[in-house]
């Protein structure tokens, strides 16, 4: 498998299982679903993930260093999910994996006595890695194969 690379073309076509999406549409769907999960109230307490991340006590404090955990990056699935990317030039599908990366910012604000907790997905991007090794790896393997055959 080659390395994951950013999919910059929002008009590119992806196939995940039997469903097809443009990159733009998949990003839109993922953003909406992620926002829904982050703001959904869970359990009897009615606390959302946004509530947890907006908590001012959620930070790493050591000596004089305070690192707030209100800006996070989510990557899912971490190993990627099997999919195919349509190559418009060759009109062929390229097998590989895709993963979604979301930069999320949590914030709190007050309006009078009311406390509001907000979540904003600053950026959502898709990365794709082909199942095929890069050409440089193939060329190196061929060079090694040729060298071994010459030595025999």
Q: What are the pLDDT digits (tens) for 54-91?
A: 765 556 667 677 777 788 899 999 999 999 999 888 88
Helix (H) and strand (E) counts in the chain = 3, 8
Under-70 pLDDT residues of the chain: 1, 55-61, 63, 133-143, 145-146, 151-152
Of how many residues is the chain composed? 152
Buried b (16+ CB within 10 A) or exposed e, 103-140: ebebeeeeeeeeeebebebeebebbbbbeeeeeeeeee
Distance, CA of 91 to CA of 95 (rounded, Å): 13
pLDDT of residue 25: 97
Distance, CA of 146 to CA of 142 (rounded, Å): 6
Element (H, E) at 46: none
Would you say 96 and 79 are in contact if contact means Cβ atoms under 8 Å apart? no
Nearest in space to 104 (alpha carbons), one of 130, 92, 122, 85: 122
Nearest in space to 71 (alpha carbons), one of 62, 59, 79: 59
Q: What is the pTM of this model?
A: 0.76
pLDDT of residue 108: 80
End-to-end CA distance of the chain: 31
Residue 43 exposure: Cα atoms within 13 Å on the Cβ side:
4
pLDDT of residue 133: 65
């Amino acid at each position: 498998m080659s390395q994951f690379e950013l999919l910059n073309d929002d008009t590119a076509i992806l196939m995940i299982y039997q469903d097809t999406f443009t990159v733009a549409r998949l990003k839109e769907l993922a953003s909406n679903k992620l926002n829904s999960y982050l703001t959904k109230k869970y359990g009897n307490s009615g606390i959302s993930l946004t509530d947890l991340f907006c908590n001012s006590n959620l930070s790493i404090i050591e000596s004089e260093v305070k690192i707030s955990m209100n800006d996070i990056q989510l990557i899912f699935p971490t190993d990627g999910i099997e999919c195919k990317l349509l190559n418009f030039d060759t009109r062929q599908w390229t097998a590989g994996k895709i993963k979604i990366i979301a930069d999320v910012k949590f914030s709190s604000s007050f309006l009078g006595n009311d406390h509001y907790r907000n979540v904003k997905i600053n950026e959502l991007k898709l990365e794709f890695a082909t199942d095929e090794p890069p050409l440089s790896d193939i060329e190196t393997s061929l060079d090694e194969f040729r060298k071994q055959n010459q030595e025999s």
